[in-house]
Amino acid sequence: MSTLVIGSSNTDMIINLARIPVPGETVLGGEFSMAAGGKGANQAVAAARAGGDVKFLCCLGEDTFGEQALNGFRAEGMDVSSVKRVTEVASGVALIFVEQTGENSIAVASGSNDQLMPADIAKNEEFFAQATMVLVQLETPLETVEAILDLAAKNQTPVILNPAPAQKLDDRSLAKVSILTPNETEAEILTGIPVTDEASAKLAAEALRAKSIETVIITMGPAGAFVCSDSIAEIVPSFQVDAADSTAAGDTFNGFLATCLAEGMPLLETVRLANAAAAMSVTIRGAQPSVPKRKMVEQFIQTREE
């Protein structure tokens, strides 16, 4: 049971502020820190900390940030033998503002992430046949994502697509997705339906399932996650916590989702565990530093049930 994660890797440069500046404004008094990030890398780390056997495919620059990232992946026990390295561009960087409520604003210089090409995916086709689950996002070129979906379909490997950062996707691509995990904003961009509550989440999820997607899970932050499949249409509640930084909450959710489904855990049970992991992640600042380990999440759930 293994999970193939393909996507971006960034170094996050974070400033914690009283509030996020509006355009043209300077806000003083922030605290600066750096952490490993990037949606693909975050999700791969989350899948590994959930207990998964993870192979991660990304593209890094031949620079200090790239070397630090690769060392971090190895420390998590991930297979990074096929990570691509390039000299012509720098590794990806994200600049993140985080305000006191935990909300964030992010700008990304994709750098080497844009160099992960369809040919790189084709060279690693054997990974798709070996994987129990494929997990992908949208911080690499769209043609690369399409190549991933094509190979997953060819090898009959289920694929989870986290459609973030939000952008339109064609129906041909969506039809190859087993599980789609948009948040409210992403679901609205894909369907045109504003998602504000359970009823609107159901409408959006059903519109997406009409595109031949087997399961749609709309993550709704503190409200939980709306799960829609052939036999399920309900919200799985989240866990209430004091938020410090929501940067990698969705990535944590997706990584845990991939690992637990690869293990054969039932869908609703998996989503509940992923909700708990995401909730724990927002209590700690930074992307990958905030991702909890599986045992911690199980203990967290147990304490909430007592």
| Nearest C-alpha neighbor of 161 from the set 180, 138, 184 | 180
Could you tell me the two tokens for 149?
């979906």
Exactly one of 79, 120, 245, 251 is catalytic; name it.
251
CA–CA distances in Å: residue 95 to residues 23, 37, 183, 254 = 15, 11, 21, 22
First to last CA, the chain: 32
CB distance 114 to 120 below 8 Å: no
Segments of the chain assigned E as strands:
2-6, 10-17, 31-37, 53-57, 59-61, 84-86, 92-99, 104-109, 133-136, 159-161, 179-180, 215-219, 225-228, 233-236
Length of the chain in terms of residues written:
306
| Residue 251 appears among annotated catalytic residues | yes
Task: Please identify every residue annotated as catalytic.
Answer: 251
